Amino acid sequence: MAVVLSSNLLLDQYQEKLVTADEAVKIVKSGDWVQYGEFVMQPKELDTALARRVNELEDVKIRCVTITMIPEVVKADPERKHFRFNDWHFSGFSRALQAHNLCNYIPVTYHEAKKLIEDFVEIDVAFVLVAPMDANGYFNLGTSNSITSYVVEKAKKVVVEVNTSVPVCLGGNGESIHISQVDYIVESVQNQKLLNLPESPISDVDRKIANVVMGMMEDGCCLQLGIGAMPNVVGSMIAQSDLKNLGVHTEMLVDSFVDMHESGRVNGKMKTIDKGKMAYTFAMGTDKLYDFLHNNPVCASYPVHYTNDPFIIAQNDKVFAINNAIEVDLYSQVASEAVGPRQISGTGGQLDFIFAAFRSKGGKGLICLSSTTTLKDGTLVSRIRPTLSPGTIVTVPRTINYYVITEFGVALMKGRTTWQRAEELINIAHPDFRDELIKEAEKMNIWVRSNKKEA
């Protein structure tokens, strides 16, 4: 009888809080800070309804994490007179908006997000995409745990947009929000499927780099893969390898983790914490990944202050952190988020995991990049540079950089002098640029030809 009563009470609460999207967005006032859901969990119908209020509002500041579509509020306000849009981690859409001064980046060291939001960030209204409420009154946060649990705690008003396409992603912790924490409930009319990421084109160079990475892999290692073609190639190669007893403690869960698990490469037996579990903080991929996640107890969704805390990550042995970069200079500084003043992505968890991999017993932090890139005018340039492009942001400082990998091999940075680092990096640069890099290193007094004999 008590169970039935509890269910009736929940149903009553649900009906009391159920409104249309147009009714829900009326709680937004001029001057408010509004937080949208993250990654593929953007609230589409609330965004559209808020856009319809464009001429009623002034100075509404909106935050998101890696937009996966152009928000309707931006389309409705192309001169940015009413809505000011900001992103914690840039996507291609964010870059396009920034080019027209319609989006700003919010710098963040990902594992610090909890304290940052609790102590320094104002949130008046949160719009959160969720799975349908369960029998106990909980809405699952789906594929993006990340910072959402902090947002829900901090926001003065919380509106959930219920979408039946959202997979129920088990914790971990922080993966759900109770109806008692919700001010309004909006049921999606369209119930749009979550975005499926297009397959990244894979180059021969990506495969060569992945082969170098595979040569460093060991049984029992605990994996973190960054975003992009090359980490996905590594995942595919692992699935087809004879490696065994691998674990997963990652920031982002992608399709290749499904392949690794289903092939038997990943079982988590050697992990120290979350043994047997694939720990992650957000997921982006295709329906293959979302279907795999749904009610799957092998996957553990956590807030980012847990998954990305270097001191938590490093409790696992053999943490292998595999990430992309845009440029590395001869001082071994890594740029992975910007070229000059142009924001490409964000710091994300790269710094967290490279730092953690060094602390992990037997761990390796790998920064991977092709040795060259081709500019729009057809000019071939080296991605290992004397210094970073003017104005470029450093993502991983040289003191934390561990290994750098190109298609030409591996360069170890730890414990190396400035001239040794320069030499190691020149040795894995494209051969066409090595003499030029040597000359530049000599000009900067960090490497001279005679040192090659001493090494």
**Tens-level pLDDT at each residue, the chain (455 residues):** 334 445 789 999 999 999 999 999 999 999 999 999 999 999 999 999 999 999 999 999 999 999 988 999 999 999 999 999 999 999 989 999 999 999 999 999 999 999 999 999 999 999 999 999 999 999 999 999 999 999 999 999 999 999 999 999 999 999 999 999 999 999 999 999 999 998 888 899 999 999 999 999 999 999 999 877 888 899 999 999 999 999 999 999 999 999 999 999 999 999 999 999 999 999 999 999 999 999 999 999 999 999 999 999 999 999 999 999 999 999 999 999 999 988 999 999 999 999 999 999 999 999 999 999 999 999 999 999 999 999 999 999 999 999 999 999 999 999 999 999 999 999 999 999 999 999 999 999 997 665 554 44
In a domain, residue 8? The reply is no
CA-based torsion, 334, 311, 255, 146: positive or negative: negative
Q: Is residue 329 part of a domain?
A: yes
Q: Are residues 385 and 357 in the same domain?
A: yes
Q: Are 308 and 398 part of one and the same domain?
A: yes
Q: For residue 194, is it within any domain?
A: no
Long-range contacts of 385-390 (CB under 8 A, 24+ apart): 385/327, 385/328, 385/329, 385/330, 386/329, 386/330, 386/437, 386/440, 386/441, 386/443, 386/444, 387/329, 387/330, 387/331, 387/444, 388/327, 388/329, 388/333, 388/335, 389/327, 389/335, 389/339, 389/340, 390/340
Domain termination site, one of 156, 187, 218:
187
- The C-alpha atoms of residue 218 and residue 203 are separated, in whole angstroms, by 25
Residues 153 and 218 in one domain: no
Q: Taking the CB of residue 195, how many other CB atoms lie within 10 A of it?
A: 17
Residues 322 and 408 grouped into a single domain: yes
pLDDT for 199: 83
Q: Is residue 193 part of a domain?
A: no
Q: What is the spatial distance between Cα 278 and Cα 271, in angstroms, rounded to a whole number?
A: 10
Query: Would you say 292 and 302 are in contact if contact means Cβ atoms under 8 Å apart?
Result: no
Nearest Cα to Cα of residue 278 among 308, 253, 248: 248
169 and 258 in a single domain? The answer is: no
Q: Is residue 3 part of a domain?
A: no
Beta bridge partners of 160: 128, 185
Of 153, 187, 221, the position where a domain reaches its end is: 187
**Counted domains in the chain:** 2
Same domain (yes/no): 313, 385? yes
Same domain? 287 vs 159: no
182 and 242 share one domain = no
Return d(Cα 448, Cα 441) in angstroms, integer: 7
In a domain, 217, yes or no: yes
- State the CATH number of the domain containing residue 39: 3.40.1080.10
Q: What is the CATH number of the domain that holds 262?
A: 3.40.1080.20
Buried b (16+ CB within 10 A) or exposed e, 169-180: bbbbebbbbebe
- Do both 118 and 258 map to the same domain? no
- Contact present, 82 and 54 (Cβ < 8 Å): yes
The reply to whether 219 and 171 lie within a common domain is: no
Q: Across-strand partners of 299? A: 278
What count of other Cβ atoms lies within 10 Å of the Cβ of residue 64? 27
Identify the domain containing residue 239 by its residue range: 204-454
Say whether 56 is catalytic. no
> Within this chain, do residues 116 and 230 fall inside the same structural domain, yes or no?
no
pTM of the model: 0.95
Distances from the Cα of 318 to the Cαs of 20, 220, 234, in angstroms?
Answer: 50, 7, 17
Assigned domain for 2 exists: no
- Residue 411 within any structural domain of the chain: yes
Same domain, yes or no, for 180 and 224?
A: no
- 338 sits in the region (left: phi over 0; alpha: psi -120 to 50; else beta) called beta
Catalytic residue among 38, 72, 251, 407: 251
